[in-house]
Amino acid sequence: MGWSYRFLAALMLLGTLLMPQSALAAPSVRASCFAATPYVHAVDHPRLPARADWTCNGRSPSGMPPVSWVFFTPDDFARKGLEPSHFVTDISRFDRISLIVMDASGPLRSRSYSMEDVSHFVNGPKFALPLPDMQGATGLVVAIERPWAPVMAARASLEVQQQSTDALGWSEDSMLLIALLLGMMLTPLVYHGVFHSILRERYVLWQIASTASVVALITIHSGLIHHIVDLSLATTIEISMLALLVPLIFASGFLLSYCEEEAIPEGLRKLLKSLVIASALVLIVLVLPFAFLRPLTTPAFLFIPIPLTAVAIMAAVAAIRSGRRIAWLQLANWAALSMAFVFNALRGSGIAMSDGWVDAGFFGAITLHVSMCVFAVLYRVDIMRKERERVNARLDALTNLIDLDPLTGIFNRRAFEQRFIELRSDGFHALAVVDLDHFKRINDKFGHSTGDRVLQEVAAVLGGDKDAIGFRMGGEEFVVMLRGSQVQQRAEQLRRAITIRIANEVEGIDGPVTASMGLVESPPGGASSMRQLYSHADRLLYEAKYSGRNRLISERIQIFEPPSRERRMKDRRASERRN
């Protein structure tokens, strides 16, 4: 899963690099002259701005005057050699847009549109208005009354749509690439959903919400939303405003839940939470279409992200200083998100006059933000996986310590009881009980330290057969489980090897140390109860003791299947016929 995440993130980053520098679907006409006036007269006989009011250096006036004027001059038409069919500009609120066709003598004809008349949405965050009859036109003047964003005049253009299927706004290649990026962004949502079902961590939920909000932002900002649902211009504006700042709110929740509470100072946590609440409230107010909010909307949307991103970056830096390496990904995440809003500010303020690099920069930064979030979740999950592996390793080590006899190092009674069924299923069908003869005399005569050495050598002998497993049951009693062929001969060899090894390895004992053994073989399908086999072997051990010690007594449990009812009936009928 880790490699799939890395591959996905790399693809998203590669996609942003492949975005064309010019995102327009076809050549367009950009305006050269702009003006601003406090009012406009009747459209049928408009009073155009005086010559001195026009600025023809290609830069639109700043601010949001009551009327923004855009003049596509005869030179603008001549440079492109086009016959435009639509006026295209960015989505925003306005009262009325008037398109005035000009010739050398002045206005020829005009057409006006209100927000309710807008129905043609094009690729990108744009809409298009059909031009009046351009026959004999040498220029076009556009009056935008009460625009809510300076970008409407700054990024206005004239484009050509020869057929109804021709794209306006951004190119179809750009839209295809954006759709591809959206598809790749949806994949982490599936992964995160799986992670949350396993981990139940809050930060995964916040990341799901953050990624989903970015998907919604790109869907709306690219204009793909209009290929999915039919929305009015007013509704599109409202959801566009919400989609622009909601990712900041969810990304803040992701940051606070991702880093431990002690990693971020309490003051910064409270400040970030307060800014999130304040930003959400301001956002809700700004979405409302009240006229008095018109001069505040664009500046607010440009400046709201600044304090929020600044405090979030400060929180990430504080977490890094506290020793949390995982916070580096949060810092990169917020740096990418900040860059996205820088590009959005360049676009929304009208500073960036053309499509292409600013939109590519916005999508690149927002994609980098999602990629960093993907890596952050993956890194955190990887840390948890490694920690779980370390815990399991410690548990296994502790379990082994519990199951091992501290003196001899072989398995103890607890391990015998816990693993009996598993060993039986692995083919260990023979069980032997081993007991040293007269072991108490060894302790009394030579000391307990010598007795301990004797027990350790017994354990070493029992571990010499690869198909035998020894257990110390307590004192001088051991149990051996064996599998394979010639079980009785191998058990006898182990019993005799005990005496030989003790004589060679333990000094100070003046006589041989012998062992008695009771062995029971129970083939598969036989009596498999641990208690039954152990009791049977223990009884055989005591028979060996009473028979003079230093010997092996064994038995093999034979299983006879009782005849079935049908066979018994058949045998009885045959017997009756013979009688």
Joined tokens for residue 236: 């599109």
Q: So which residues are the catalytic ones?
A: 476
Which H or E element spans position 396?
helix 357-403
Q: What is the DSSP string of 493-527?
A: HHHHHHHHHHHHH-TT--S---EEEEEEE--TTS-
CA distance 273 to 110: 52
Q: Beta partners for 102?
A: 107, 139
The amino acid that residue 96 corresponds to is R
126-130 and 86-90 beta bridge pairing: antiparallel
Q: Distance of alpha carbon 483 from its chain centroid, rounded?
A: 49
Query: In DSSP terms, which residues pair with 554 in a beta bridge?
Result: 519
- Using alpha carbons, list the distances in angstroms from residue 139 to 75, 87, 99, 129: 9, 13, 11, 16
Angle between helices 172-199 and 2-17 (to 10 degrees): 160
Distance CA 174, CA 344 (A): 18
d(CA 51, CA 28): 25
For the sheet containing 86-90, what is the strand order? 28-30, 157-159, 86-90, 126-130, 120-122
Pairing between strand 120-122 and 126-130? antiparallel
Instruction: For residue 481, give the DSSP letter.
Output: E
Q: Which long-range contacts (CB under 8 A, 24 or more apart) does 268-276 make?
A: 268/311, 268/314, 268/315, 268/318, 269/315, 271/311, 272/308, 272/311, 272/312, 272/315, 275/307, 275/308, 275/311, 276/248, 276/249, 276/252, 276/308
- Distance between CA 333 and CA 378 in Å, rounded? 14
- Asked if 72 contacts 140 with a C-beta cutoff of 8 angstroms, the reply is yes
| Residue 473 near residue 535, CB atoms below 8 Å | no
Tokens in use for 442? 């060894």
Residue linked to tokens 């700043």:
62
d(CA 564, CA 575): 17
Residue 178 φ/ψ, nearest 5 degrees: -65, -40
Beta-bridge partner residues of 113: 97
Q: Pick the closest to residue 249 from 219, 200, 209, 220 (CA basis).
A: 209
Lookup result for tokens 């497993």:
469
State both tokens at 81: 């050699």
**Where does residue 212 rank: exposed (0-12), middle (13-18), buried (19+ CB within 10 A)?**
middle
